[in-house]
Amino acid sequence: MITVFAGGVGGAKLVLGFANLLNPEELTVVVNTGDDEEFYGLYVSPDIDTVIYTLAGLSNEATGWGITGESFRTLGRLKEYGMDTWFNLGDLDFATHITRTKLLKDGLSLSEVSQHIAKSVGVQHSVLPMTNDDAKTIVHTADGKMSFQEYFVKNKCEPVVEYLEFGGKKGVLPSGEVLHALKNSTSIIFSPSNPYLSINPILALSGLRGAISNFKGKKIAVSPIVGGKALKGPAAKLLKEMGADVSAVGVAKQYADICDVFVIDSEDAGLASDIEALGMSVAITDTVMNSKLDKVSLAEFILELCE
Amino acid sequence: MITVFAGGVGGAKLVLGFANLLNPEELTVVVNTGDDEEFYGLYVSPDIDTVIYTLAGLSNEATGWGITGESFRTLGRLKEYGMDTWFNLGDLDFATHITRTKLLKDGLSLSEVSQHIAKSVGVQHSVLPMTNDDAKTIVHTADGKMSFQEYFVKNKCEPVVEYLEFGGKKGVLPSGEVLHALKNSTSIIFSPSNPYLSINPILALSGLRGAISNFKGKKIAVSPIVGGKALKGPAAKLLKEMGADVSAVGVAKQYADICDVFVIDSEDAGLASDIEALGMSVAITDTVMNSKLDKVSLAEFILELCE
């Protein structure tokens, strides 16, 4: 079994590739929940939903969020009721958040709820939140501190980030399901999600970085930066603001102490020696995932590295 | 100012008539909340919504519930998530329940929330829940006890009713807003809603029957039974099961100790003396409200009785 750490869109693409190659019992996806937030009184878990919707074939690839063929009638009326509707949720998507909120209120854990939602839309692979506890990311910026979604959606990643604060309170633990998955895995894959916003919230969980350091199997990270640019989202801007190189090397430095292998795009082949100098081996392939074939090919390449 | 006690559809029709004749400060509607129930984790207040939607011109007159031009995309997906979706809620309607649930969670009272929702859709007249506390009606039937909505929607009023239990717990008080409205009213109108299911839950509130007995102004009830039949819903079936006459006389007996005037339909003119024998005066007019003109005419007729 392999465990994949994932955020939203980029992670979900690679996970879809793995899901096409591996049986349900061979793949566990551990998803960032630092982006979770309550909207309109409902508990929204954006990265979990992006992974589940992607695996279920429901995701809206054009927008990068939500469900394909959405409508926005509920949101339109919420606006009439004076709700601040900067966070877009569609009518189909609302059902997910209503279900999650109801089941959490009934006493189920976020892991149980996520599995229920996944199974309901035909997803057989395990999609686990990184923790069952509150671990919201606080983004401290030049314009003040804000939740991840305020930074990402409301303010379109424009504020300059000073630092990131992970976890709703200190010492948030990974869920038992996550620890169980790691114990039973032969490899850990860090998907090409934003290292600061999607992967670091996972690594910040109490004891998790240590567990990964002690992990005996392969540990492979994929660069989300290709040719000095982020494939999607604010990764490049954030690397710069955090004082890192806006390149695969800048990302590699984030993973140097916990990864064995760093996967970079063919376009970045010239950076291999700089990354090897950090103590990781480098694997080079086409990492840009547009088509389904791209996703499966990258997943296949990584699985070969695992052997 | 007049206070109108109302349930759902029948009450809302008459309220619309009054709203066309009276300024906002001249009319308060006190609405049954015995039908309230949580669905999909959201607080639903069906009679309040029927009154507000009717006054706002949003109500679906064909179905007798919900909003005109509804779609059911959210509900369809809730079903996929394994929710028991016997209680129909549309995408537009969901926004009302999401808003109500959120504002209640934020600490607003049901009265405050109802006023907010009403104002948001342009309703200027006061629409008040009968109480801010839990006062759910329990229907005890030959098939066991059930919530009002289980009886009314899920079981289509088919179970034989043995007795009705009002109030979530004993001694539920009317809201301060309701008592204030009564104190400042010159007349009380009992709309042609189901006396057992819509009006009695209001009268069962602690101290309210006494307050009405002591009320010095006009107290006028309108029969929901015309020609021995209910205009809508299970009123006739229920009168029979409760051992009452299925006629305007059977209804009049419910109101004999608290009303001065009983309004019956021209079709039932022959029953006037039987009702007068109960100690009420009788007023006869056309009470069936199909068109808007019907609603305004009946309201006008009642306002003349108030003078």
Q: What is the mean pLDDT of each run of 10 residues along chain A (307 residues)?
A: 93 97 98 97 97 96 89 97 96 98 98 98 98 96 95 94 86 94 97 95 94 95 94 87 94 95 97 97 96 97 96
Query: How far are the Cα atoms of A176, A178, A183, A219, B235 from residue A208, in angstroms, in the given order?
Result: 12, 10, 12, 14, 63
B119 touches chain A (CB under 8 A): no
Query: How far are the Cα atoms of A21, A28, A215, A286 from residue A125, in angstroms, in the given order?
Result: 11, 7, 22, 25
Q: Phi then psi for B260, rounded to 5 degrees?
A: -95, -40
Q: How many residues are listed for chain B in this entry?
A: 307
Please identify which residue in the block is written with the tokens 């590699």: A252
Nearest-CB residue to B117 (from A40, A81, A120):
A81
Q: What is the pLDDT of residue A65?
A: 86
Q: What is the pLDDT of residue B58?
A: 96
Residue to substitute from A42, A53, A81, A106, interface B, most B β-carbons within 10 A: A81
Q: What is the pLDDT of residue A197?
A: 94
Q: What is the mean pLDDT of chain B?
A: 95
Query: How far are the Cα atoms of B111, B195, B284 from residue B247, in angstroms, in the given order?
Result: 34, 12, 15
Distance from CA of A82 to the nearest CA of B (A): 7
Cβ contacts of B91 on chain A, cutoff 8 Å: 71, 73-74, 91, 94
Residue B76's nearest CA partner among A92, A119, A70, A90 is: A92
B73 touches chain A (CB under 8 A): yes
Q: What is the pLDDT of residue A251?
A: 96
Q: Phi then psi for A147, rounded to 5 degrees?
A: -70, 165
Bridge partners of A139, per DSSP, are A146, A164
- The tokens describing A278, both together, are 């950090």
Please identify which residue in the block is written with the tokens 């990184």: A130
At B65, the amino acid letter reads: W
Cβ contacts of A44 on chain B, cutoff 8 Å: none
CA angle A76–A81–A82, rounded 5-degree value: 100
Q: What is the pLDDT of residue B36?
A: 97
Answer for the pair A125, A71: CB distance below 8 angstroms, yes or no: no
Tell me what ipTM this predicted complex has. 0.92
At A194, the amino acid letter reads: N
Largest Cα–Cα distance in chain B?
58
Cβ contacts of A91 on chain B, cutoff 8 Å: 71, 73-74, 91, 94
For A31, other C-beta atoms within 10 Å of its C-beta total: 31
For B200, other C-beta atoms within 10 Å of its C-beta total: 18
Give a three-class secondary structure readout of A247-294.
CHHHHHHHHCCCCCEEEEEHHHHHHHHHHHCCCCEEEEECCCCCCHHH
DSSP 8-state class, residue A58 = -
Answer for the pair B179, B196: CB distance below 8 angstroms, yes or no: no
Of all residues in chain B, the one with the smallest CA distance to A83 is B99
Residue to substitute from A77, A89, A104, A113, interface B, most B β-carbons within 10 A: A77
A108 touches chain B (CB under 8 A): no
Helical residues (DSSP H) of B206-266, grouped into ranges? 208-213, 235-241, 248-255
Please identify which residue in the block is written with the tokens 């996972």: A202
Q: Do A96 and B74 touch (CB under 8 A)?
A: no
Which B residues in the span 263-302 are in contact with A, Cβ-Cβ below 8 Å?
none
Answer for the pair B27, B213: CB distance below 8 angstroms, yes or no: no
pLDDT confidence tier of residue B232, bands split at 50, 70 and 90: confident
Please identify which residue in the block is written with the tokens 């695969």: A248
Over the stretch A93-137, which tens digit does the pLDDT of each residue have? 999 999 999 999 999 999 999 999 999 999 999 999 999 999 999
B74 touches chain A (CB under 8 A): yes
Over the stretch B131-157, which tens digit does the pLDDT of each residue have? 999 999 999 999 999 999 999 999 999
pLDDT confidence tier of residue B168, bands split at 50, 70 and 90: low
Nearest-CB residue to B40 (from A80, A82, A98):
A98
Arithmetic mean of pLDDT, B203-207: 94
The C-alpha atoms of residue A305 and residue A283 are separated, in whole angstroms, by 8
Q: What is the pLDDT of residue A59?
A: 94
Answer for the pair A87, A94: CB distance below 8 angstroms, yes or no: no
> Using CA of residue B104, residue B175, residue B302, residue B257, what is the dihedral sign?
positive
Nearest-CB residue to A99 (from B83, B91, B99):
B83
Q: What is the pLDDT of residue B41?
A: 98
Distance from CA of B78 to the nearest CA of A (A): 5
For A277, other C-beta atoms within 10 Å of its C-beta total: 11
Residue to substitute from B74, B114, B115, B117, interface A, most A β-carbons within 10 A: B74
Residues in Cβ contact with B57 at an 8 Å cutoff, skipping those fewer than 6 apart: none
Q: What is the pLDDT of residue A167?
A: 84
pLDDT confidence tier of residue B11, bands split at 50, 70 and 90: very high
At A161, the amino acid letter reads: V
Decide: residue A64, CB within 10 A, 0-12 exposed, 13-18 middle, 19+ buried: middle
Residue A193's nearest CA partner among A42, A47, A17 is: A47
Q: Do A99 and B78 touch (CB under 8 A)?
A: yes
pLDDT confidence tier of residue B206, bands split at 50, 70 and 90: very high
**Going from the N-terminus, what domains does chain B have, and what CATH number goes with each?**
2-138+167-306 (3.40.50.10680)
Answer for the pair B191, B4: CB distance below 8 angstroms, yes or no: yes
